[in-house]
Every structure is written in structure tokens, then in C-alpha cells.
Chains A and B, each alone.
Chain A
Amino acid sequence: MSQAKGLNLTLKIWRQQNAKSKGKIETYQIENISPDSSFLEMLDILNTELIDKGEIPVEFDHDCREGICGSCSLYINGEPHGPGKRITTCQLHMRSFKDGDTIYIEPWRAAAFPIVKDLIVDRSAFDRIQHAGGYISVNTSGNTVDANATPIDKHDADEAFNSATCIGCGACVAACKNASASLFVSAKISQYALLPQGQVEAKDRVLNMVKQAEKEGFGPCSNTGACEVECPKGISLENIARMNREFLAASIS
């Protein structure tokens, strides 16, 4: 079996020592990368080389490497999670690039996502938005009712599940020209808004989560649709419209 030719690449990577220091783009040459390796494996190879040379490796977020956890980020060649659609960075493979390519690798850029180091940003703003209302209150004192005892329209259940597939990676914020978190927030609101269990706290949920997102410093939504295109889970703009409706209704009632 003939082996595919290795790729020689120029990497332009954002290096930043810590949250306070000023970062800059550094250039690295990397050779003979297998087109079958994943993007993160390519970075692993780079880091091994850097460590061998006694240099500080490039820090980046990753965990499951299966496209589920939402840990990996990276703004690659002008797009969150790189050139592929409906994938996270860990699912991106080097066959998406050509020999001799220059690849820009940057962290998510948003006032609400401060850089921790190099390519790692602090996404705890998303946690605080969740805490503001992304839950339902269930009495668990021993007499919990089986969730399946409540009949739910199949269409609504499917829609709620679609919204719940959001992994909170932050690609929507990274893609948005205003670093708006509308797609994330609206998905988290929708997954409850569509279900009977979510109705009790629906009003407070939308008001508090939207308010928290703005407090964190995420921008307004310009309806460009960039988030929907770049979302690895294909979360629809439908969610944002639902959030806008719910917020309006909750505000005036």
C-alpha cells in the first residue's frame, strides 16, 4: 500500500503567555505531516518538536477528540473549527489542506472569552449563562415522577433534542462579527421552552439568561447567520427567533 505524501506546512499560531501579556502571531514550519492525521495530532507533533528543541509547547484545549465534548476550539484559516462543516476541530483532518499551505491558528476572539494562554480561552461565561436559567427545578425527595409519564408531541421532542445537541463549544461566538452568543443562549433556552417541563420557569429563564449573556459582554445579534453555518452541531437560527419571541413576550407580560 502506497503511503500518501506528507504535507509541508507553514503554521501561523497565536502565542500569548498569559491573560495579561500581549500576544502575537508566531510562524512555525512543520514537515511530513500525514494527510490522515487529525488537526490536533498535527499540533501534538508540533508540540513534541518544540519540546525536543527546549521551547514552550503551544497550549490548546481538547478532551474527547470525538466531536462531543465541546472542548476543542481554534479559529483556523478564518473559520471556527476550520474549513469543514458540521465538525469540531478534533474531527478536522489534514487531508483538508494542501502541501505548502499556510495555516492561521487563532483563539476564539471575544471580550467575554478572555485568553488564558496561547489558543485557550476562558469559556466560563457560558457556564454562568447556564446557571442563570438553563435548568428545570425538579423535586427529588423520593417521589420523582418518571419523565416519560408526560406525553410530548414527537415534533416538539425532536426539536428540543436538536437544540440540546449544542455542545457549548463557542464556535457561534467566534464566527459572529459581534461575538454574540445568541445561538448558544437560544439553544439552551429552546431545549426547555419546547417541553412541558420547561414551562414553569420559562419566563424567568429567558429574561435571566439573555441578561446574563449581555452582562458577560457578548454582542447583539445582527442576524448574519454566520453562527448557524459554522456550528458543528447545526443548531438552527430558528432557536434565536424563538428566544426573541419568548423574551419579548416575557418582557411585556
Chain B
Amino acid sequence: MSESKGLIKSHLVKKYWMAFTGLFLCLFLVGHLAGNLQLFIPGYSGQLQFNEYAVFMTTNPLIKIMSYVTYFSILFHAVDGLVISIANKKARPEKYAYSKPGNNSIWSSRNMGILGTVILVYIVIHMQNFWYKFKFGTPPHMTAEDGVSPLLQDGTAVKGGIVENGEVMLNGENMGAVMGDLYTIVLESFQNPIIVAFYVLGMIAIGFHLVHGFQSGFQSLGLRNKKYTPIVSKLGYAFAVIVPLLFALIPIYMFIAA
């Protein structure tokens, strides 16, 4: 006799997707952070390791699939969030004349839409800064320690090789694609204090978003009990502080270290 098919047009289903994509993006943050922490390795070896990692990330088919899942999650999370925000506003057309929301809820929990919008703008600019430049621009290429011989993507140095359109040429013969130098793009970007400040602000927004979002995701999916929820709550706070903090230290470190 059940005439209602819950999965169609329900606020709750939108919340499930919000939670599911959000928690997936938390996993993405961990992976992204683990990769980026290599930027803390000093000297040529750090530069080489990071650029080898960049080759892996841009060529591995499994990573490719994951990257599309991530892009989709970000877009879905944003659009779903917008739809939910509109429904939120619609449910209270006339505001209170006097309200003290701080007495019963944290600021983050009431401003996820604003924080999300800031983060979306951050992601677009971040992608333009690195991903777009590396993929569609003419990025610098990686050389062997002599500073002259270009490196192939597998790390082989080509003595006397020259780089043309991203390919290493030796005596007119194509030796293969050159290893791009994403490390230098990152290093040069973070010499600009405005960009450094922008990245730090972006991470603060992500931190506040996570303070509420992490544990809220579990609640939306109904994953709550007396034993584990206090742990999830504490883990959420730790995640919201540690992950954005480590991310934010990268531009600061590169600005100071260079």
C-alpha cells in the first residue's frame, strides 16, 4: 500500500547525496594532502620526487577514473547544496525580527552554503593556477641535476636532448614525452604573497566547512550511536583542523623557503 517512493524528490535523499559526496571528498583531501606533503622535501630530490608523482597522477588510468569521480562529486555537492539552500530559505519566507542563533548552534553549521561558495571559487582559481597551466599551458620541463639534460617521463635523462612541444628530441629522433616541472610552477606561484594569503584563506574556509560537514555527513546517513558518535565528532574536529592546516603550511613554507 506504500504509494510513496521515497527516493524521488525528497529532501532526505538530497541530504544522503550531500553526505556521501562530502565524505568521499574528505577521503580525496587525505590523498591530495599525502601527495602534496612531498613539496616539503627540500632540494633537487624533492623537486624530482614531486614531478615524478605529477607524472603518475596525470598518466595512471585508475587515477584518471578517480579524478573524474572527484570532479563529479565536487560539482554534484555544489549543485545539490544550492538546491538544498533554496529549499532551506523557502521554508521560512518571513525572518524573525530578533534572533540569537548563536545560543543553540555553531556558526559553521548555519553557513555551509556561504562557506561552500567560497570553497568553490577557491577550487576554480586553484585549478586555473596549477592544473590548467600544467595541462594546457607550456609548463617548464624537468632536467637532470646538471640543469641541462631534459628528463623523460620515466626519469631517464637525455644528454643533448632538446624539448619541442613537450617531446624530447635527440638528433631529430623523438625520445618520448618530457617530464613537466610542476614543482617550479608551484614554487613560483607561491612567491606572490597575495596568492599565499588566498590559499591560506581557502584552507580556513575548508576548515570551517569541515567542522560541521564531517560529523553532519554521518548524521545525515543515520550513522549514529552512543558509542561511536562521540569518536566521530572528535575525529571531525581533528580532521577539520589538521588537514587544512597542513595544506596551508605548504604555500607558507614555499614562500619562506625560496
Count class of interface residues, chain B: 35 or more
Give bound CA distance, A211 to B9, whole Å. Answer: 9
Q: Are B91 and A224 in contact (CB under 8 A)?
A: no
- Whether A245 touches B94, Cβ cut-off 8 Å, given contacts A204-B2, A220-B14, A225-B105, is no
B220-A244 in contact (CB<8A): yes
In angstroms, Cα B242 to Cα A19, docked, is: 51
Does B5 sit at the interface, judged by CB under 8 A? yes
1/0 contact trace for B1-41 toward A, CB 8 Å?
11011110011111110000000000000000000000000
A41-80 vs B, Cβ < 8 Å mask (1 yes, 0 no): 0000000000000000000000000000000000101110
Q: Does B184 contact A (CB under 8 A)?
A: no
Q: A177 an interface residue at 8 Å Cβ cutoff?
A: yes
Among B93, B100, B215, B224, contact of A77 (Cβ-Cβ < 8 Å) = B100
A223 touches B220 (CB 8 A): yes
Determine the chain A residues whose CB is within 8 A of the CB of B16 once the complex forms.
244, 248
In the complex, the answer to whether B97 meets A247 with C-beta atoms within 8 Å is no
Does A165 make an interface contact (CB < 8 A)?
no
Contact among A12, A218, A240, A246 for B219, CB-based, below 8 A: A240
A-B interface contact total, Cβ < 8 Å: 146
Chain A window 78-116, contacts with chain B (Cβ cutoff 8 Å), 1 for yes, 0 for no: 110000000000000000000000001010011110000
Which size bracket describes the interface of A in this complex? Answer: 35 or more
The residues of A that contact B15 with a CB separation of less than 8 Å are 220-221, 244
Q: When the two chains form their complex, are residues B222 and A219 in contact, meaning their CB atoms are under 8 A apart?
A: no
Shortest beta-carbon distance, B14 to chain A, in Å? 7
Given contacts A111-B93, A223-B220, A229-B104, contact A12 B2 (CB under 8 A): no
Q: Using a CB–CB distance below 8 Å, which chain B residues touch chain A?
A: 1-2, 4-7, 10-16, 84, 87-88, 90-101, 103-106, 109-110, 112, 212, 215-216, 219-224, 226
Q: A112-B91, A203-B2 are in contact. List 16 more A-B contacts (CB 8 A).
A: A12-B97, A78-B100, A79-B104, A109-B95, A111-B90, A177-B110, A180-B91, A210-B10, A211-B10, A219-B11, A219-B92, A222-B112, A225-B104, A225-B105, A225-B109, A246-B222
Instruction: Pull 22 A–B residue pairs with CB atoms less than 8 Å apart, ordered by A.
Output: A12-B97, A79-B104, A104-B97, A109-B96, A112-B91, A177-B92, A178-B92, A203-B2, A208-B2, A210-B6, A211-B10, A214-B10, A217-B90, A217-B91, A220-B14, A222-B110, A224-B104, A224-B110, A229-B105, A237-B219, A245-B221, A245-B222
